[in-house]
Amino acid sequence: MQNRPAIVAVGRTKFGEHYGKEPEKLIEEAWLAASNECSIERKDLEACYMSDCFLPITNKLGLEEGFLSELTELHVPMEATRSFSAALMTACHAIQAGVYNTVLVGGIEKMSDRWEKIRDDLMLLDDPWSYYAGGTPDSNHELMMRAYTKKYGITGEALEKFNIALAQISVKNHANAVNNKYAQFQRKISIEQVLNARKAANKPLGLYDFAPISDGSSALILTSGEVAKKLTDQPIYVLGCGLATDYLNYTAREDLTRFVAAELAMNKATETAKVAALDIPLWELYDQSTMMEMITLEDLGLCEPGTAWKCIHESYTTNQASYPIKGKQVYVNTDGGLKANGNPLGATGGAQVFEIFCQLRGEADKRQIDLPNGQKTGGVVECEGFGTKAIVTILGERKQ
C-alpha cells in the first residue's frame, strides 16, 4: 500500500443508554476529544466520513451529511456509510489517491431512542426472510451454533467444554471492561451466571452471550503520512484493509459454520499489509455474540476449523487473559468487546480502532498489553448484518 494513511488522534464517548443526549452532542464530544489530542481545528478538515445505521429511523434524520455539515459548520465533501470501518476504508482510499490530506471519520448511533422497535429493525434490516418467518436477532447465532456442533461432532463431554468456552468469552470480555471507563458494563461476571442465563431462557445462548443495545459515538483524525509526522510522534498507520460480502439470507449460504466474507476480507488485508495472521497478537473482534467471536478466530486463520473453542477452553482452565494459539498468545477484545464495551452500530468500529490505537501507543492504562517486540500490530474485524459484510483493518506502529 503506497502513501499509507495514518491515524493521528482518536476520541469517543462512553457507550450506554444516553436518553438525555441528542446525537449531535455525542458526535461533538467524540470529535472534540480527537481534535484536542492533535490540535486540529474544523477548518483543517478537507472531508468528513460518517457512519450510522439507524439515525434516519431512530431520530428521523435524513441526509446525515447535511446534519454533519450543520454540526461542523463546514461545506467540505461528506459521505455516510453504515459502519465505521467502511467509512475508514473509504477515507483511506481518498488519502491514498492524494485527494485529501486530513479527514474526519466519525460514527454515531442512538439505538435506545427507539427501544420498543429496535429488535424488529435489527432483524428486518439484517435478514428480512428470517424476520418474516418469525426469527429474532438471536436466532441466526443459535442456528450457527447448532450447525457447528453438528458438523464437528461435538457431543457429550466435549459439548460441555464447548459451552464453557463460549461462556469464557463473555467472562473474559467483562473482566477486560472493568478497566475501561468508556464501557457500558464495567463489572465482572462468572461462568455460572452465563450458564444459568441460558437455562433460564431455555436456549443454547442466553442473556450474557449477546452484545447489548447501545448509544454512543466515536471519531478519529486520518491524515497522509507526511501530515502525520507534523502532528504527532506516534502515528498509527493503516497497513491494510479488506472488505467482502456474502448473501443477505444466512440460511441460503453454502456453509453455516463460518463467515466467508470475514475470511476473504482477512486474506486481502494481510496481503496488503504483508503480515501473517499469527504475527498480529492483538485483535478487536466483532463479538455480537460469543459464538461470533469464536467463529471469527477460525475465519481469520488463527485457528483451524472446528478447533477455536479448544483454545478458548484452555484459556479458561489456565486462567489466562489471552488465547493460546499455535504456541502464541493472542489477545482479543481488551476493551471488553461489543459484549461489555457496548454496540452502538455506527460507532462500534470506531471504538475498536480506538482500543488498538491506544494499545499500540502504550496508552491503554490498566488494560495495556505487553506486546512482543517487533509485533506492534493490531487488527479490527467489523461486520454489517450477520456476517453479510465484513471489513478487516490492520493497524501498525510502523509503515512496513
In order, the DSSP letters of 265-320 are: HHHHHHHHHT--GGG--EEE---SBHHHHHHHHHHTTSS-TT-HHHHHHHHHHTT-
The residue extents of the domains of the chain are 6-116+213-231
**β strands within the chain, DSSP E:** 6-12, 47-51, 78-81, 102-110, 215-223, 236-245, 282-284, 323-325, 328-332, 377-384, 389-396
Position 55 confidence tier, pLDDT thresholds 50, 70, 90: confident
Measured between alpha carbons, how far is 225 from 147 in angstroms, rounded to an integer?
46
Residue 399 confidence class, pLDDT cut points 50, 70, 90: low
pLDDT digits (tens, 9 = 90+) for 304-360: 999 999 999 999 999 999 999 999 999 999 999 999 999 999 999 999 999 999 999
Tell me the C-alpha distance between 14 and 351, whole Å: 10
Phi/psi for 373 (5° steps) reads -60, 135
| Homologous superfamily, domain 6-116+213-231 | Thiolase/Chalcone synthase (3.40.47.10)
Cα angle for residues 342, 295, 400 (degrees, 5° grid): 80
Q: pLDDT of 240-250, one tens digit each?
A: 999 999 999 89
